[in-house]
Structure 1
Amino acid sequence: MVEADITTGEGSFRITKQYYGGRSARVVHLGSGRLVAQADEAENFISSLIRGGTSGPAGLLWVRQGITGMEKRSRTEEEGEKQVRQGLLESVQGEVEAVTGGRRMAEIMAAVKEALSDMVTATGRPKTGGRYAAAIEERDRLAADEGRLAAEVTRLRQALDQRATAAARLVELDSPAEREERRTAIQAAQSRFDAAKAQNEKLKTAEAELKLVRERRNAAEREFKAFTEAREKAALLQEEVASAENNRAEAIKRRRQAADAIEMARENVDLAEAEEQKVRERLTHFEAATKAREAFERLADLKQRLAEAEKVRQNIEEGEAQLALMQIPTKSIEELQACEVEIAKLRAIDEAARPSVSIHYEADAAGTVTLDGKILADGEDRTYDGQARLDVAGIGTITLRSNRPGRNHNQIVQAEAVRTALLASMGVDSLSAARDRQAKAQQADADLRG
């Protein structure tokens, strides 16, 4: 296949000819891409471009084609083409010999070199500013424009295809059956949407109510927890207040006794001062004689005070020893109290979880029911462990089995073991004994401080 772009007064064209298999010929306008001619019309278009026909110099264009043709031809066609080629060669031979020899050939070569130097450099590169360089720039620019326009054409073609598809779809959608089907579908969808919207509103309302109930439950749990803690703290404070009241009453009593002693001492001091004044007046004349007696009395007084001080020191040491034995850490008592509360709670839970049985007799009932040999009174709620035996007169024996897991038993045993260890570490046998001992220790500490 051979393609050639030519420019005539009518515009630019691309001539395409294919030989051997699938022979064809066509002419396309380069500006618009429009197919101008094909097959025989293309051959006529090409012939119209060649001046003088195949008998002139332009006939040389077909010489090689005639030689290399592989299709079968008649002898007459081959002889005719051979005569044409001979005539062409004879007519051209003289002109070629005239051009290729002598001064004319040198002039032609000089003219060609001069024309060539205007377009390319000595190394064969396009000369800047020349027609060849301008043609290359124009070619590149046109190639870029061609690529841009091809992309634009592709995009527009895709848009046209999409428009045609949309138009066809629009025609389908505008049919009465389609419109009725869409209207029915829209109504059904609107109904479902309204139902879903109403259901969503109900769900939001239920979620809000659930959130409010949860908040109320959480608030109630917090208030119950605070109440339980306040009640336990109040019990502890009540015990501490009772102990403090006892200490306060004892301190007031002792303060009153001390005030009475001070008042008596003041009276004795006043009397002593008066007596001293009298004694001083009386002993003025006997000062020298009484110095020895006063020294003796002072020595006796100092010995007595020393004995009293020694007795007080001994009492203090004994009180400190007793206080060391009686003192119990407050933390141990708090742990013991927490353990007692835990044991009571576990026992309450265990008691509440125990199975029970009760019976209500008819007014005219002839007999009674016994639980493990003991009569079960009307309306009495009696608990049992493991299993129990109901004896019903006239019916038989009913065996009740709880089969409940003893989950709290191990916890109670562990809590009681902790309580026993705490009591053993404190040297008491109960929480009340520990508190009494702590109160006595506080009283002893107060006495020791006094």
Structure 2
Amino acid sequence: MKLTALRLHNVKRFAGRGISVEGITDGVNVLSAANEHGKSTCFEALHALFFQPHSGNPKSVQMLRPYSGGNPIVEADITIEAGRYRLTKQFHSGRRASVTDLGSGRIVAQADEAEAFIGDLISGGTSGPAGLLWVRQGVTGIENRSKSEEENDKRVRESLLSSVQGEVEALTGGRRMSAVLEACEDELNRLVTATLRPKAGGRFAAALEERDRLQEEEARLAKEVEMLHGALDRRRSVQARLSELENPDEEAGRKTAIANAEVVLEAAKLHDRELKALDAEATLAASRRDEAQQVFDRFHTALNRSGELARRFALAEKELSSAAKRRTASLAESEAATAEVQAAEEEERIDRQLLARLEAALRSRHAAERLAEVRLRLEQAEAARQQIEDGEAAHALLAIPADAVERLEALDLKIVGLRAAAEVGLPTLRVDYLKDASGSVSMDRQPLIGGEDRSFAGIAKLDITGVGTLTRSGRGAGDCGSHAPNIACQARCRQSASGATARYCRAEQAGGTRAGAPAARGSRPEWH
């Protein structure tokens, strides 16, 4: 058996990719690479291909699986007396084994039959000659084995190596091999130095110099030969072209070919014109066909539309009859509703008349109250004017006492208090709107905020959206009597304040002479 190729895929460091060792020939084949490049992995996979069944999963097979997982595949091409075969095994998931005849491409064995085929190739197992398939520093396999098994296999291998060594010594004649080695070393020493460099003046050094010279000469001649080859090729092409041009038969043939080409050209031009005319006719026919297709499509669409309209017309007739029935019922309901509306309008007219009368009465009442209030104010104003005139006549030349300003401020405070007391007694309004109310109520053109109290004096006009105006008087009989003392007090305070202010202004205008006269006489004016 001879091994000619080895291929791996998804084995140990070659996760997700493959590697192949091709071209293994007779003799010694060296597989060389730096450390940790997968040399041992190749031999481990080869050992598993021959000595591990594909259906098992021992630790030695698990070691072939990469850390990322996957299914290791090992394939080897061998040559035996029966022919050339390819052995393939896949471990873990999808386990399979096959033997393929490379000559015919036919699979000759699978599964257990393939294992039996491989077993026949390595008869004797690791104890036989196949044990030398991979010699790993005294270890006979890649699996972990007991020490006794290792020692037994080691003795078997040592005996096997001894037998091989004896055969080699018998073949070389024993000591003759040593003599041959010594002769080779002497010859080598005459040619090279101890560091295997060529000796100066020796045959090996001369041969190397001659080799270098011949290589340079060969390169120079190769360039010349390449140049001459190019020149010869150009010369042959020129001569061939010249012979074609100078040959009378060729000239006549060319003229005939030109004439034939011109005839063919004219025919082609005529054919081209005919083709263009036919293309125009075809384009016109296609355009007419498209127009006809469009007309047909429109007709088909109209036909479908007609059917749809007929169906809708039937439905519309049914709906029309139903609508007529509903219209009759609606007319009856409308007549009843009209009667109700007329009755409601009559009630509304009566309500409007009553509301107009109420508004007229309210306006009359408001006018009477306003007139009484104006007359009262007029009387108060006349009395105040009379008091002012009397005060001005009596105290024209009086000076303002020192505490006049304080008394005025006290009077102002009293007036403010009286006004506040009057405002407390004023009537108030409050509006609470419904949640779904659409209108609003405003007083003096200012909307009333819902839920807030608002006071007023005199007469208040409430504008109700969509209804009308509601007039409310803020003074009753009891209110006028209760506030009369306050009003009289306010009037007296105003008269006193006005008189004091007028006297102060006249005293300022009169100057210091009149202001100092009462002080010189030692008399103080009386303050009213």
What is the TM-score of this pair, normalised by structure 2?
0.24
Select the structure that is richer in helix. Answer: 1
What is the TM-score of this pair, normalised by structure 1?
0.28
